[in-house]
Amino acid sequence: MSKKGDGSAVKDPGAEPTLGTNPFEGTLRRLREAFHSGCTRPAEFRAEQLRALGRFLQENKQLLHDALVQDLHKSAFDSDISELIICQNEINLALKNLQAWMKDEPGSTNLFTKLDSAFVRKEPFGLVLIIAPWNYPVNLNLVPLVGALAAGNCVVLKPSEISRGTEKVLAEVLPQYLDQRCFAVVLGGPEEMGQLLEHKFDYIFFTGSPRVGKIVMTAAAKHLTPVTLELGGKNPCYVDDDCDPQIVANRVAWFRYFNAGQTCVAPDYLLCSPEMQERLLPALQSTITRFYGDDPQSSPNLGRIINQKHFQRLRALLGCGRVAIGGQSDEHDRYIAPTVLVDVQEAEPVMQEEIFGPILPIMNVRGMDEAIEFINRREKPLALYAFSNSSQVVNQMLERTSSGSFGGNDGFMYMTLLSLPFGGVGHSGMGRYRGKFTFDTFSHHRACLLCPAGLENLNDIRYPPYSDRVQQLTRWALGSQSCTLL
């Protein structure tokens, strides 16, 4: 299997970028040495790190709230339910279950290995890199971190430079709580990220866009580093004729406009019949007014766009189709009103890229079949939603499409359930996490079989020479049963 000159079997220290040309060299070496020392392996060390992370959250709540206001104009309620509480839940779950998760999983033995001890050992990979985006900057940094620490890895955290307020708190305050031999925060923009990715990591966990996901995976391929990529896409939301438009409007609007639409699992666009559209529009208007008041710009419950670049991008999208609701914007405030667009063409930009803003285009379809066909022509999304009173319709949508996750008759409520994994498929990503799934993601599952040192007679049948009689016996014994060789 290995060609001649396959490469040194001994780890080549020269494979790392040389000191002085790469700013992360020293940090990474320190973390790697710490991992080799074994300090992250004992359960007590990991539990202490998790407890320290919990203390970071509790003792700096105001600081984090302020940072989230600065970055995304997030209200305290929104910050709590979408960031801080989620992180706290993850920490609590990990602390409660750490021993159970770390335990060797027994493997079932077959006929010939009944006398052995078989188990799967969960081992940390080593030095892992977590790259987080700006839209839920606390959540998307810390939730993967919880699993990585629980699994016993040393961690390099790279928060997004775009959510500057949160980046500052994570870089300056968080390391004071964790063991700095085994944890580091690195900062920078695309150039620094490129330098960081030249290094070898034992696992890379990336949340962001598909475009950058490809760059990360290509860099990882050079070192054969396994990756989890939490990407995005356009999440379709099918609204059947058979449903109450007001309830649908409530649910869709809440999930669409939360965090000013900057959510990877937000419903990106609506698919419904023209008749349903007629009923939905007034319902959506009513919902938006109820949620955000007559002047949404003054509502404390509506977020802002993260920066000018995205603001300009979104403002341009307002020119697609026709504005049915909203459409206002304010450059100084990076404010975009909760907007609904109709008469949108598939080729227009608003239907070509992930919107990631408070704009909801409605595309008309004549029924469920057309909706399914529309969805399946496009890249697999991170989330898919279907609204209908008929469970048959909901189930059909589920069975005949593919997406990271699926919500029936609601938005991304499933994100509150730590027993459900979260991840994409196709262009929306690979791998998954949350709860125990994060721990498993950051662990190598090592199959271990301990055979008895004696009882050699039982093995004789497998050794050559294979006389005719032995051959017959083996074929008979194994051909008729469902067990694997020996």
202 binds another protein (CB under 8 A): yes
410 binds another protein (CB under 8 A): yes
What is the nearest approach in angstroms of another protein to the Cβ of residue 167? Answer: 26
Measured from the CB atom, the residue of 243 and 306 that comes closer to another protein is: 243
Token pair belonging to 39: 């300090």
Q: Find the binder of another protein among 247, 327, 370, 374 (CB under 8 A).
A: 247
Token pair 């990220």 in the structure block, residue: 193
Q: Which stretch binds another protein (CB under 8 A): 22-30, 339-347, 349-357, 442-450?
A: 442-450
Q: Tell me which of 154, 264, 272, 320 is the catalytic residue.
A: 264
SS (HEC) of 28-76: HHHHHHHHHHCCCCCHHHHHHHHHHHHHHHHHCHHHHHHHHHHHHCCCH
Token pair 């006389």 in the structure block, residue: 467
CA–CA dist 108, 118 (Å, integer): 7
286 binds another protein (CB under 8 A): no
Measured from the CB atom, the residue of 3 and 366 that comes closer to another protein is: 3
476 binds another protein (CB under 8 A): no
What dihedral angle (degrees, nearest 10) is formed by the CA atoms of 50, 54, 56, 62? Answer: 160
Q: Find the binder of another protein among 37, 308, 352, 419 (CB under 8 A).
A: 419
What is the nearest approach in angstroms of another protein to the Cβ of residue 118? Answer: 6
Give the per-residue contact string, 82-101, with another protein (x = CB under 8 A; - = no): ---xx-xx--xx--------
Q: Find the binder of another protein among 19, 115, 316, 447 (CB under 8 A).
A: 447
459 binds another protein (CB under 8 A): yes
Pairing of strands 236-239, 383-387: parallel
How far does CA 420 lie from the centroid of its chain?
12
Q: Is 224 left (phi over 0), alpha (psi -120 to 50) or beta?
A: left
Residues 6+ apart with CB under 8 A from 149: 40, 46, 49, 50, 53, 155, 178, 183
Supply φ then ψ for residue 335, to 5 degrees.
-100, 135
Q: Which of positions 346-385 make contact with another protein (CB under 8 A)?
A: 376
139 binds another protein (CB under 8 A): no
331 given a catalytic annotation:
no
Q: Which stretch binds another protein (CB under 8 A): 173-181, 276-284, 317-325, 473-481?
A: 473-481
CA–CA dist 63, 60 (Å, integer): 5
Q: Find the binder of another protein among 248, 280, 355, 359 (CB under 8 A).
A: 248
Measured from the CB atom, the residue of 14 and 464 that comes closer to another protein is: 464
What is the nearest approach in angstroms of another protein to the Cβ of residue 175? Answer: 26
Q: Find the binder of another protein among 81, 115, 316, 473 (CB under 8 A).
A: 81
402 binds another protein (CB under 8 A): yes
* Nearest in space to 272 (alpha carbons), one of 252, 289, 292, 288: 252
Cis peptide before 465 (omega within 30 of 0): yes
Measured from the CB atom, the residue of 334 and 380 that comes closer to another protein is: 380
Q: How many CB atoms lie within 10 A of CB 161?
A: 14
- Return the sign of the alpha-carbon dihedral for residues 302, 307, 312, 317: negative
14 binds another protein (CB under 8 A): no
CA–CA dist 213, 218 (Å, integer): 9
283 binds another protein (CB under 8 A): no
Supply φ then ψ for residue 483, to 5 degrees.
-140, 155
451 given a catalytic annotation:
no
Q: Find the binder of another protein among 5, 127, 204, 272 (CB under 8 A).
A: 5
Q: At what angle do helices 61-72 and 43-59 cross, to 10 degrees?
A: 70
Q: Find the binder of another protein among 76, 173, 187, 212 (CB under 8 A).
A: 76
10 binds another protein (CB under 8 A): yes
Query: Which residues sit opposite 238 in a β-bridge?
Result: 271, 386
Number of residues that bind another protein (CB under 8 A): 128
Token pair belonging to 225: 């580093």
51 binds another protein (CB under 8 A): no
471 binds another protein (CB under 8 A): yes
Q: Find the binder of another protein among 199, 234, 279, 427 (CB under 8 A).
A: 427
Q: Find the binder of another protein among 308, 322, 389, 473 (CB under 8 A).
A: 389
Q: Find the binder of another protein among 135, 141, 163, 403 (CB under 8 A).
A: 403
Measured from the CB atom, the residue of 195 and 474 that comes closer to another protein is: 474
Active centre residues (catalytic): 230, 264
